[in-house]
Amino acid sequence: MKAIALTHYLPSDHPECFLEVDLQAPEPGPRDLLVRVNAVSVNPVDVKVRAPKAKVEPAPRVLGWDAVGEVIAIGSDVTGFKPGDRVWYAGDISRPGSNAALQTVDERLVALAPRNLSDVEAAALPLTTITAWETLFERLGLSGESRGRLLIIGGAGGVASITIQLARRLLPNVEVIATASRPESHDWVSGLGAHKVVNHHNLTAALADEGIDRVDYIFCTNATEQHWQSMADLIAPLGQICTIAESDEPWDLSLLKAKSVTFSQEFMFTRSLFKTADMQRQGDLLADVARMVDEGSVRTTLTRALDRLTPATLAEAHRIVEGGKMIGKLAIDSRNLHN
């Protein structure tokens, strides 16, 4: 099968950053689906994994952790899917990724794709949707009965773009405040349903201008160290903070002690990486969100699409994501790899 892979970890502007390779088609394990991949997305995790380093892979490594495609074979113990099903998923970071004609994935991480989205539109959502859902309902402990204010930092990014929608759809008594610093990102975040949009450059002052001095929940999707002091100042006593952003600098957790703040980190690959007993929750939540998409209460976050998956277009996608100015998500039609 054809795949776009790497053997060396090179800058995204290097002409051999990615290579087109021919690999043996994977065989599904007992709980696996074999999927013919039709569309993929590129996320910050792809960029982090590909970041330049001295390591050399002994065999081509395929990245990619968002996919929409068709099930063409199933493992012996699969019960939830059949050949011909159109599915979506993020997958498992410890296994070969979706930048290939075919991919195997554990059925517990998979759901039927939304009927009302194209493959490319749907491919923009799985990884960020799982991240958003786990953050809201597991890390921050929110529920349909929750009240208070939720601050989302990095409001126009892929994760925040779906988090805003899920919060508005499923948390009717929570006020959603999101950050955006450019006119175009402000309009995007407002259009997704945020009750208030504020500039992140002086977060405390921006919220004060809105008459807000405390928030009950904070979800930081980028630059945690940059916002750490502001988050410590703004979080309410007994509040909750979650981040998905990594940092080279330590965070001073002592700033949270007086308020008894709960701090957590979200990594949507934890369940698949450690084969937790509740892996099925990811497939279940994707099924729930697919229904919301089809009923019209959640929309795709796709803002840019590339027509073919090639070494050049994948490198271009990595450069765009690396640039840090992306609004929403980027996805790629990968059906050219079938030929």
Query: Domain 2-125+276-338: which CATH class?
Result: alpha beta
- Report the alpha-carbon distance of residue 87 to residue 70 in Å, rounded: 6
Would you state the pLDDT for residue 166?
A: 99
Look up residue 187 and give its two tokens.
């309009």
Instruction: Name the fold adopted by 131-265.
Output: Rossmann fold (3.40.50)
Domain residue extents for the chain: 2-125+276-338, 131-265
Look up residue 220 and give its two tokens.
């930081």
Q: Say if 2-125+276-338 and 131-265 have the same CATH topology.
A: no
Would you state the pLDDT for residue 223?
A: 87
Q: Is-contact 66 44, C-beta < 8 A? A: no
Tokens 């050949």, residue located:
83
Look up residue 40 and give its two tokens.
């993929």
Average pLDDT of adjacent 10-residue blocks, the chain of 339 residues: 98 98 98 99 97 96 99 98 99 98 99 99 99 99 98 97 99 98 96 96 94 98 92 98 90 96 98 98 99 98 98 98 95 98
Q: Is-contact 185 325, C-beta < 8 A? A: no
Would you state the pLDDT for residue 247?
A: 82
Pairing of strands 110-112, 86-89: antiparallel
Look up residue 241 and give its two tokens.
């903070």
Q: Is-contact 175 150, C-beta < 8 A? A: yes
pTM: 0.97
Q: Is-contact 32 78, C-beta < 8 A? A: yes
DSSP secondary-structure letter at 114? P
Per-residue CA distances from 326 to 182, 215, 319, 329 (Å): 11, 26, 10, 7
